[in-house]
Amino acid sequence: MSAIDDFNDLMAETEVIQQVFRSVREEPAYLLGKICSEYQETKKAVPDYHLRITGYISETALKALLSAGLIKRQSGGTLSVFCYEPTKKGQEQYSRLSKDSFYQK
């Protein structure tokens, strides 16, 4: 193992880094859930101010959802910069996560 691998293993054992890993794994799913559930209720794109986008992980999660083709971004309305709408692929993932009880944690 290289020095950086040893260092990364040491960091991975810390609670702080474990929380970051958990956030990286779960934050995109929570954002997708918020967008899909609100879209299902309103049949309208979800304005950005309805989403809890705080910190680097949330911004990255939103970019990842866009990059993966799970949501699409539109120009915002009166109070928002952007609005987000789930794609068919995003709705399918939301359905799978819901059936697996992910959002009931």
pLDDT tens digits, 31-68: 999 999 999 999 999 999 999 887 779 999 999 999 99
In-domain check, residue 4: no
- Note the pTM of the prediction, 2 decimals: 0.86
Q: Is residue 19 part of a domain?
A: no
Q: Report pLDDT for 56.
A: 78
What's the CATH number where 43 sits?
1.10.10.10
In the predicted model, what is the mean pLDDT of residues 3-23? 94
Q: What is the pLDDT of residue 34?
A: 96
Residue 56 falls within a domain, yes or no?
A: yes
Most distant CA pair in the chain, distance:
54
Domain extent at residue 76: 28-104
On whether residue 9 sits in a domain, the answer given is no
Torsion sign across C-alpha atoms 40, 44, 49, 55: positive
66 inside domain: yes
The total domain count for the chain is: 1
67 part of a folded domain: yes
